[in-house]
Amino acid sequence: MPDAPVKPLDVIERKGLLYRSGLGFDCINHVLGCSHGCRYPCYAFLMARHHGRVRDHAEWCRPRIVGNALPLLDRELGRKRAVPPQVHLCLTTDPFMVGHPEVGALSLAIVERLNRSGVPCSVLSKGVLPGELADRRRFPCDNTHGISLVSLDEAFRREWEPGAAPFAERVAALRRLHEAGRRTLVHVEPYPTPGIFAQDLSRILAEVAFVDHVFFGGWNYSSRVSQDRDGEAFYRRQSSTVRRFCAQHGIDCELG
Ligand code: SF4
């Protein structure tokens, strides 16, 4: 039986695209919502609901794409003073959302447009990073290619990141970009305490020993962590593990 036709995403219009985040770097979020539907919960969802941009989690999981993203970006890059040193995709959605190729296509077009203006990008995804990102003619800047990875266990993913790509597919896509000579990053956050999910951090790090940069951070925004009496000591031990691993493998280490 042929696959059911994929319903095109709803479209929204925005007045601006590039912005400086509260974290101090420049970002683009060209989609409202995210079908990955993470349940840590997702901070971007909490904020969108708080500000009345979505009613509930079900609406958050039906993403709407910014239809005028590229003309907006052209206009913003045309203003000389506005050209940022680097742009991050994305802080409040996923640029390579599973099951939504139009989101990935727009993300690639945005990175291409920024690179054409000499602006490098960092991308971070729980989807599958496309192989096109290795193409230096289309993407000439030294972009950084990141995946989020807090477990290797698919039972964890099904419970906490139900719409995201399987872990092995994320790692394989990242490895392909590394092998093509691209800069890679793994974002190990929010890392669960044993009370949420017991696992061995060393095994996860070993899977991504090829990356250039590791970011490690704890499980925020959930009262379940404060129920773990050993939480602080646990994160101190995990941070030491990450620091040691990065030193052994010559990897840039960043602790959240
Ligand atoms: S992938 Fe990111 S933006 Fe999407 S639901 Fe998960 S945490 Fe939120």
Confidence (pTM) = 0.95
CB of 94 sitting under 6 A from ligand 1: yes
Cα 188 from Cα 148, distance rounded (Å): 6
pLDDT recorded at residue 4: 57
Residue 81 is predicted with a pLDDT of 72
- The pLDDT score that the predictor gives to residue 79 is 86
Please work out whether the CB of residue 93 comes within 6 Å of at least one atom of ligand 1.
yes
CA of 115 relative to ligand 1 center, distance in Å: 25
Q: In whole angstroms, what is the distance from residue 121 CA to residue 104 CA?
A: 15
| pLDDT on residue 229 | 67
**pLDDT per residue over 68-81, tens digit each?**
999 999 999 998 67
Closest CA to 90 of 125, 61, 63: 125
Q: Which atom of ligand 1 is nearest to the CA of 164?
A: 1
HSE-CB at 21 with a 13 A cutoff on CA atoms is 14
Indicate if ligand 1 lies below 6 Å from the C-beta of 126.
Answer: yes
Instruction: Collect the ranges in the chain with pLDDT lower than 70.
Output: 1-6, 80, 221-229
User: What are the pLDDT digits (tens) for 33-74?
Assistant: 999 999 999 999 999 999 999 999 999 999 999 999 999 999
